[in-house]
A and B are shown apart, each in its own frame.
Chain A
Amino acid sequence: MPYRLFALLVVLLCLSACSDSHWHPDPASSDAKTLKIAVFGSTAGNEQSYSASAQAAKLAQDNDDVKALQGYVTIEPREDAESLAQAVDDARRIRDDPDVLAVVGHSYSGTTRAALPIYEQAGIPVMMPTATSPYVMYKFDEHGAWPGFSELENREAPYPRFRNAFRLIPGDVPSQVEAIEATTRKSLKLEPEEEPNPDSTAPAKHPRIMLVCDITKRNGANVYTQPICQSLLRDDSGHSIAKYIARYREYDVDTVDVWAMVTEIHAVMRSETSKQIVFVGYPELARMLLEELTERSNPVSDNMKSYTFIMSEACLSNELLQFGATVYVTSPFNPSRVEKCLPQLKQIEHDKNVVLSAEGYAYDAIVILAKAANQCKAKNQLGRECVLDYLQLNGDNLPGKCESYWIGNGERKAAPYYVYANCGGELKQIGEIGTEHEIHEKGHCQQNAR
């Protein structure tokens, strides 16, 4: 046999002997001994480095359903991504890791939207305790022009949904939009009978509000805020506040001129005695705005107390109360229910001065996954496919520890929404949004909040 041919054969045989153990690990020799549930938690914008999901993951270790999986499945808390690029990298690592059974996360709608197509490739079930944007659930080319959110469910050509995504928290549209509208109307003291008559020729003095939308691309804030802001601008129901929006502005944290932003707010709100600003976005931009407003409040004889902010659920943070403005936050989180369900959190809430938020949802997500895994284990089918089937088949009744969930098409159905206000330096629940978009006041801080 000629030498050259021999050399070629040797190369061939050497290549075939090479293994791709990193990309395709052999289960027998892999470091992994159990499957994992990856729980993503973020400490961003939190001075105490507190993460609701990480805390929930810690507490869930003591849950009976989780304990029953000992030796089979472990809960693995992971630090969440702060940018879309990082979220995509994290998701790719998880997709390429065959021992990941399911994911709980991510913390933001933008990062979840970026990661979901990658998880879908591997059929990894994703339980979402905090991502609320309607965009998260639909498949479309995220690098092209995004569809208007009303096009997503166009009945003639609806966009397909991710079959592996399950949202425990109610979606922003309509739940949060209705809550913001109800809170704004309440704050403006608008009653249905006081609606301005559109046929009247006499000029009416309408209250004027400003709508500020955070469209930061880096952290995907635009994914979260765009559907809410587009809905708020639509004057399509008796509850709409669109007619009172005197100015609508979109800002990106990375490019915003804060001085110009506040100058514009001053200009729009000059004639208003009560300056109402609806803010839809993340605390980073909210804090920048409040800091600049506070800094410039004296030179223009402005008083921070004359400002009322109606903020979206991502701003449920006591740290935004220090600037002196009146703050309302709409949110699906119910701290009293979380406290009741997970009493261990009372002390943490007090020590860290945090508002309990997604702990209940994240804990329930782990419990639901553990129940699914236990059932799959009993059938000797403990894997992603079986867990996904369980979640799809039992969507109408997925019991957690804190709540039971009815999830159809991946979306949470029939969930309550609440309004929070500053009660003695802390955000406390002051009301619940009713079915007729009214606010049922509750709690002992009503006077203070008003």
Chain B
Amino acid sequence: MKKGTASKTLDKYWRHGFVLELVALDCFVLLICAFDVFRFWLGGHAFSAAVSVAVEKLREGQGAAVTAAVLLFFVVGLPMIVALIASLPAIHERWPKLFLPRSGEVVATHLLFSVLVASFTAIAIAMEVLAGYENNDGLKYGFRSSWLGLVFLGQPLWASYVSPIIRKFFIRLPHEKEPLSKVAKEIITEEPFEQHVA
């Protein structure tokens, strides 16, 4: 792959996603986080305790996977989604002033907010565990974070999306005896697995 092509692809699929609306989305997520903190405090819990426990657990590697996933999603996935939406002709033609690619401050702000949201994900896990279970005809957490609920809501969707891709990748690779890049390209092009086997 040529260097120029890679740079163009990055621009098209990722850098064009750094728009002002992305920061607005970050602010909305941070608002949900702030609401969680407020509810946790109302329940008589100390937010500082959740922060210190989250740090302690992250050092032990607990909760690091979800935190890293959220960070990666915010830094890589979200701009890609926004770039995709921005490139849709309907959006582009109807609201030409929306989704204008930015750089500098917008990128820095989004990266900062991404770190905050990812950190809060680890803290939200600690908040739920510290609140403990309630048992009212069934166990459930005494405090449930709205943000963590959203994160975990996506988990089965992502898992169900990822698993067919991985399955295709690992089954096809030993059969094909073809270069890795070619197999990957085939998978990306969404060529049906059944058709390929046949």
A residues apposed to B, CB below 8 Å:
1-20, 22-24, 27-28, 30, 32-35, 72-73, 95-96, 98-101, 120-124, 377, 380-385, 388-389
- Most central of A13, A101, A124, A389 by chain B CB within 10 Å: A13
B48 (CB) vs chain A CBs: closest residue: A121
Q: How far is the CA of A20 from the CA of B151 in the complex (A)?
A: 13
Interface segment, one of B18-26, B107-115, B152-160: B152-160
Given pairs A98-B141, A121-B46, 6 additional interface contacts (CB within 8 A): A17-B162, A24-B125, A27-B141, A121-B130, A123-B45, A377-B136
Q: How far is the CA of A320 from the CA of B155 in the complex (A)?
A: 62
A12-B69 in contact (CB<8A): yes
B69-A16 in contact (CB<8A): yes
B63-A24 in contact (CB<8A): yes
Contact partner, A27, options B65, B125, B139, B188, Cβ 8 Å: B139
A384-B77 in contact (CB<8A): no
Contact partner, B63, options A5, A23, A27, A120, Cβ 8 Å: A23
Task: Say yes or no for B106: interface residue by CB 8 A criterion.
Answer: no
A388 (CB) vs chain B CBs: closest residue: B44
Q: How far is the CA of A122 from the CA of B56 in the complex (A)?
A: 14
- The 4 tightest CB contacts between A and B, nearest first, are A383-B134, A16-B69, A15-B69, A18-B65
A15-B72 in contact (CB<8A): yes
Interface string of B133-148 (1 = CB under 8 A from A): 1111011111000000
B162-A99 in contact (CB<8A): no
Task: Say yes or no for B96: interface residue by CB 8 A criterion.
Answer: no
> Within the complex, what minimum Cβ distance (angstroms) separates B122 from chain A?
9
Interface segment, one of B6-14, B29-37, B97-105: B6-14
A16-B141 in contact (CB<8A): no
B63-A98 in contact (CB<8A): no
A3-B133 in contact (CB<8A): no
> Within the complex, what minimum Cβ distance (angstroms) separates A270 from chain B?
55
Interface CB pairs A-B, < 8 A, 16: A1-B13, A2-B10, A3-B1, A10-B166, A12-B72, A12-B76, A14-B166, A19-B66, A24-B63, A27-B138, A32-B133, A98-B128, A101-B132, A122-B130, A381-B136, A382-B134
B133-A18 in contact (CB<8A): no
Q: Tell me whether A2 and B9 are in contact in the complex, defined as CB-CB below 8 angstroms, given that A16-B155, A20-B66 are known contacts.
A: yes
Q: How far is the CA of A380 from the CA of B158 in the complex (A)?
A: 35
Contact partner, B139, options A5, A22, A33, A380, Cβ 8 Å: A33
Q: Tell me whether A121 and B134 are in contact in the complex, defined as CB-CB below 8 angstroms, given that A12-B76, A16-B155, A24-B128 are known contacts.
A: no
A24-B49 in contact (CB<8A): no
Q: How far is the CA of A174 from the CA of B130 in the complex (A)?
A: 35
Chain B residue numbers with a CB within 8 Å of A124 are 132
> Within the complex, what minimum Cβ distance (angstroms) separates A253 from chain B?
31
Task: Say yes or no for B53: interface residue by CB 8 A criterion.
Answer: yes
Task: Say yes or no for B95: interface residue by CB 8 A criterion.
Answer: no
B residues apposed to A, CB below 8 Å:
1, 5-6, 9-10, 13-14, 43-46, 49-50, 52-53, 57, 62-63, 65-66, 68-70, 72-73, 76-77, 80, 125, 128-136, 138-142, 154-155, 158-159, 161-162, 165-166, 181, 184-185, 188
A123-B44 in contact (CB<8A): yes
Q: How far is the CA of A32 from the CA of B43 in the complex (A)?
A: 23
Chain B residue numbers with a CB within 8 Å of A16 are 66, 69-70, 73, 154-155, 158
Contact partner, A15, options B9, B45, B65, Cβ 8 Å: B65
> Within the complex, what minimum Cβ distance (angstroms) separates B152 from chain A?
8
Q: How far is the CA of A120 from the CA of B130 in the complex (A)?
A: 9
Q: How far is the CA of A27 from the CA of B162 in the complex (A)?
A: 25
Q: How far is the CA of A22 from the CA of B125 in the complex (A)?
A: 12
Q: How far is the CA of A16 from the CA of B69 in the complex (A)?
A: 5
> Within the complex, what minimum Cβ distance (angstroms) separates A19 from chain B?
7
Chain A residue numbers with a CB within 8 Å of B141 are 27, 98
Q: How far is the CA of A388 from the CA of B184 in the complex (A)?
A: 56
Q: How far is the CA of A278 from the CA of B31 in the complex (A)?
A: 62
B72-A20 in contact (CB<8A): no
B139 (CB) vs chain A CBs: closest residue: A27
Q: How far is the CA of A32 from the CA of B77 in the complex (A)?
A: 36
B132-A11 in contact (CB<8A): no
- Most central of A12, A16, A20 by chain B CB within 10 Å: A16
A20-B188 in contact (CB<8A): no
B6 (CB) vs chain A CBs: closest residue: A2
B43-A380 in contact (CB<8A): no
B130-A95 in contact (CB<8A): yes
Chain A residue numbers with a CB within 8 Å of B128 are 24, 98
B13-A13 in contact (CB<8A): no
B135-A34 in contact (CB<8A): yes
B76-A9 in contact (CB<8A): yes
Chain A residue numbers with a CB within 8 Å of B125 are 20, 23-24
B69-A95 in contact (CB<8A): no
Q: Tell me whether A20 and B139 are in contact in the complex, defined as CB-CB below 8 angstroms, given that A96-B129, A100-B132, A123-B44 are known contacts.
A: no
Chain A residue numbers with a CB within 8 Å of B154 are 16
B131-A384 in contact (CB<8A): yes
Chain A residue numbers with a CB within 8 Å of B138 are 27
Q: How far is the CA of A377 from the CA of B140 in the complex (A)?
A: 14
Q: How far is the CA of A12 from the CA of B14 in the complex (A)?
A: 15
A3-B185 in contact (CB<8A): yes
Chain B residue numbers with a CB within 8 Å of A24 are 63, 125, 128-129
> Within the complex, what minimum Cβ distance (angstroms) separates B97 from chain A?
28
Q: Tell me whether A99 and B63 are in contact in the complex, defined as CB-CB below 8 angstroms, given that A13-B162, A383-B134, A388-B44 are known contacts.
A: no
Chain B residue numbers with a CB within 8 Å of A14 are 162, 166
> Within the complex, what minimum Cβ distance (angstroms) separates A383 from chain B?
4
Chain A residue numbers with a CB within 8 Å of B181 are 3
Q: How far is the CA of A99 from the CA of B134 in the complex (A)?
A: 8
Chain B residue numbers with a CB within 8 Å of A72 are 135
> Within the complex, what minimum Cβ distance (angstroms) separates B157 from chain A?
9
Chain B residue numbers with a CB within 8 Å of A380 are 136
Q: Tell me whether A11 and B72 are in contact in the complex, defined as CB-CB below 8 angstroms, given that A2-B1, A6-B184 are known contacts.
A: yes
